[in-house]
Each structure stands twice: as structure tokens, then as C-alpha cells.
Structure 1
Amino acid sequence: MHPVLGKNSVRSVVAAGGVILAGICVTWWLASPRLQLALVTVLLLVNILLTLRGTARLREGSTLPGSVETLMQLAKSPGIASIHDSIASSLLTIASRKDPIYCRLAVQSLETLALNCQRLAMGTIEYPSTESWRVVYEELLRSPGLYLYRSVSFVETQHYWQDGPGRQSTLLNLELHDKGTVNIERIVIVADHLWEMDGFISDPIRNWLDEQHQHGIWLRVVRESELAGESDLVSDFGIYGTRAVGTQLADVSGRTARFVLCFDFERVEQAEETWKRLEVFSKPYRDILDRTNGSR
């Protein structure tokens, strides 16, 4: 039933419709053939006008309840539609429970779920305290159409990318760059305590950089202290072409504390601007090698 029309209104409309229909029948029975033809013409015109009006309202979505429109949109994505059905079924079960403490706790959990859904709707996926993001990292780097990967590495500890998952990611970079599948460029921000007195970087980070340099990966390096006036540049992120940008936060042991992947073009553009600014402060790794080797 339409929310605006009450029971009395519906009865009135039905009664009025019956009277009009009866009048049309009597008129048709008593009318001449010419009048009957005119009456048919009028009825056809009214039917056409009502059809056109109904079609216009359907296009505007004004006659469809929001839930119906939602289901029609979700039907275009079978995977999402299936999840929607599962969640809807669970919500009905939750709503049927009467314990007030349970209901309050359930609402709190659902609010968190709703916030996560909002983040997903904005193109953001978060991986907290886990290295599982590296699976998606490889999937992105191997995805068709990706030809440029730009990485900014913020190295605060000598353990940076030195564990098993980190080593696998390094080997993946070397493999894809050697094959010419993906052009890899990397700017490395190195904490001051990891620089030696001779102006070079201590091991094992030095070996990590040397290996990439030997494979022809484009490398630039900058001391963290040289960015003191540009603190917003001190970050760890990767730009996957124009598709996505991933930001990593590592703990004191160099392992991932949080990784956020964002499939939003504006965020990609912002990361590109940060990259361009870092290029101004950083130096080619080759130049550091030449200077250091020349002084020995």
C-alpha cells in the first residue's frame, strides 16, 4: 500500500473507479457508432498518456522503493549480490534476538562493519599487522597493463625487507624488471643512524641497494634529516601505474604494522606529486657509488 494513501482513501478510489466504469458501460450501450468511436479514441489517448507518464517516473526512479533499486543495482555484480543476501539474512537473525546486552554489542560491532564498508566504497583496503598484503602486491605487479611501479622506501632499521616476505618481494622486483615486464623506480629515504662516516649506507641495506642497482633498477637516495623541513615527504608507499597506491607503516623490526591500499585516482595523483618533490631532494644512487669509490 502506498504510504500516503490510507484505507479510506483506497476505498474511495475503488468506489469512484467503479462508478466511472459503470458510466462508461452505460454510455457505450446507448451511444451511436460515431460516439463509440470517439470514446475509444479518448480512452486510447488516456492510456498512452498514462503509459508515457509511468515510463518517465520509472526512469526517474520515483516509483521504485530504495530497496528495490538497490537490489537491481547489486544484481549487476553477482558476487556482491550474494554477500548482500548473506548479510541481510544475518541481520534478520540478529534483529530477532531480544537480549538487550547482546543487541547493544551487536550494534557496536555492526557500526564497525559499516565503517569498514564505507572505506571499501572509497576504494580503500587495509591490512593491519600482517604481511599478507604482499600477496596482493605481487598480484598488482603482475597484472596486465601495469608497466611502471614507483616505490618510496623509508628505511628506519637494518632489518627493512630483510626477512622472508621482504626477500621474496625484492626477488619479484628483480624478476619483473629483468624481463622488462615492469619498469621499477625506487627512492629510498634512509634514517641518519644507518649512514656510515664515509658517507655511505651500512649493511645489509647497502647490499640490498647494490643488488637492485646491479639489475638496472632506477634508484635515488636521501638522508631522512635532509627532509626535516618537509616532514610530509617521509613516508613509505608504492604507486602501481595509475591504478592504485599502497602505503606501508613498519614497526621497529622492519615488519609491516599496517598497509593501506587505495584504488582512487586522486590519491594516485597525490602520491605522484610527493614523488616529484622527493626527486628534488634525493640523489642518484650511482652518484653516491662513484663518490664513495673515488674516495677509497
Structure 2
Amino acid sequence: MHQKILLLFCLFLSGGIPAFSQGSPRTANYDIQVRLDTAEKKIYGRQVLLWNNPSADTVRELQYHLYLNAFRNTESTFMQEAGGFGFLIDALQESCGWSWVEIKSLKDEYGNDLSQEMEYIAPDDGNANDRTVLRVPLPRPVLPGGAIRVEMDWVTKIPRTAARTGYNRDYYFMAQWFPKVGVYEPAGMRFAEKGQWNCHQYHAEGEYYSDFGVYAVDITVPAGFTVGASGAMASVEEQGNEKTWSFRAEDVIDFTWAA
């Protein structure tokens, strides 16, 4: 028995048994800076996505989830399927109740403007009034095993007490709150006949699906707020009437926060 243990130990030291330095493939990684505007009920965001192509395919587009557009009006697929969610409609129809996501700028690491060709798509039901999936064609495709860095500036209007997210008085609970890339599934994964994006519209029933990655997120809020978020808190810095809370989460599929 002792000889077997010694042999395994020697194999480990010599590289015979792989030692993993990280807990996931880290396919979708984000560096995000946001500022919460409590007067306008908005979030101003800037993010960098580093996406690693997990397939042997040349990927010619990205697809993003824009979940908060589900609460843009009563015509979204989510609201249609949910029958309007009476209690949500009452809240959303109040002043500043509805939500939306606006992409202010979008470019790749080479400076190419990706916003010119981006478009909303509805791959599940063809609903032209649904804006929860954004398709972004790439002028420089991502080669097999390659990576792309995409910079995005965006503004989100926060909904009032919507499903899993929103605000109530001076409390903010933010889930599915930022533009999040979908999952590219190679041929053979989950019975896919060819490589394809799995980036469904936001439905009233269903679960979220995304790749593992690393998140570095800075959240700037009024100084009187306390922020709790995914991962570990790295620092808190105060600048005048605001505080910036910095968090890092490794090998997770999402990032949420509350203030």
C-alpha cells in the first residue's frame, strides 16, 4: 500500500497526473464598471468581455442576452407568456417602472465598430417586439481555440420590482442585469448537429444558461449604500458622495449584486 501511494505521489510530481490551476474552462470573462443612479433609476455600465472559442469552428458572430428588455413593454415574449403578470404590470406602469437596455458603443480589440451591424433577433418565436437577444456579426471571426475582446458601453433603466430583479424604494436587487454573452455549443454538445449559439429569448419559464468565467466588477453607489455581491470583496473606496465597491468572482456562471 505504501509503495502505491509513493508511486502516485511521484507521478503527480513528474506530471503524470494533471494538476489543474483553475476550476473551470473560463470561457466568458468580464471586467465591468458600473455606476448606480438612484435618482434616474439607471445603471451606467462599461464592460470588457474576453471570450474564448471552445470549439473547432470559426465563429463569425456573438449573441448576447439583454434580459432586462423583457420588461420594456407588454409585447415582449416574457410578458406575453406570463399573461402580463398583473402584479408586475401595476408596478411597471408606475412612474419610471419600465425597463430597457441601450447599447451606447460596441467595438472589438482592433477598434472595429460592431454596433453598425448588430441586430435584435428572436430565434425562438420570431417576436419582432422582443429585444432580449442581440446578434453581433464580427468583421474578424474568432478562429478555433482563439479569443476575442469586446468593449461595450451601455445604459440600463432598472425595472420596478420585476422577476428576480429591480428596485423597491431604496433597495436594489440586480440579477441578469448586464449584457451577457450566450453559450456557443460545438457539434455533438447536447445533440447539436453543428456548432451553434444557445442564446434563447427571455421566457416566463426556464432557467439561465451561461459559461463559466472570471468576473472583476466595480460598483459605484451613493456613499450611504452597502453593496453585497457574488465573489469576494476586493476593496471599497470613497470618492466624495460615492463609494466604489470592487468584487472578484472566479469560475462562476453569473454575477449578481444588491444595494
Q: Between the two structures, name the one with larger relative contact order (CA 8 Å, sep ≥ 6).
A: 2
Relative to the length of structure 1, the TM-score reads 0.25
Larger % of strand: which?
2
Larger radius of gyration: 1
Larger % of helix: which?
1
Relative to the length of structure 2, the TM-score reads 0.28
